């Protein structure tokens, strides 16, 4: 178990259980976490490691 909670990269909501998606950054491989709402609305996110901007 991790000490920090998983949060959506777009809106900051806490992800609990299977809520949202976790996938590697297309540029550097860092794990990106997004909630279902932001994914459906195609809200932008920025990778904290490399600055990659995704839809």
Beta strand segments in 1-55, E: 21-24, 31-34, 45-46, 53-54
Bridge partners, residue 45, by sequence? 54
Mean pLDDT computed over every residue of the chain: 89
Tell whether the model's pLDDT for residue 21 goes beyond 50.
Answer: yes
Residue 3's domain comprises: 1-55
Tell whether the model's pLDDT for residue 29 goes beyond 50.
Answer: yes
Output the pLDDT for position 2. Answer: 45
Q: What mean pLDDT do residues 2-23 have?
A: 84
The pTM for the full model equals 0.78
Q: What mean pLDDT do residues 9-35 have?
A: 92
As for how many domains the chain has, the answer is 1
Q: Which band of pLDDT confidence, cut at 50, 70 and 90, is reported for residue 4? A: low
Q: Is 53 helix (H, G, I), strand (E, B) or coil?
A: strand
């Amino acid at each position: 178990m991790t000490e920090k909670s998983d949060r959506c990269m777009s809106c900051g909501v806490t992800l609990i259980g299977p809520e949202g998606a976790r996938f590697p950054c297309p540029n550097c491989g860092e794990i990106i976490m997004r909630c279902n709402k932001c994914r459906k609305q195609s809200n932008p996110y920025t990778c904290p490691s490399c600055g990659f901007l995704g839809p």
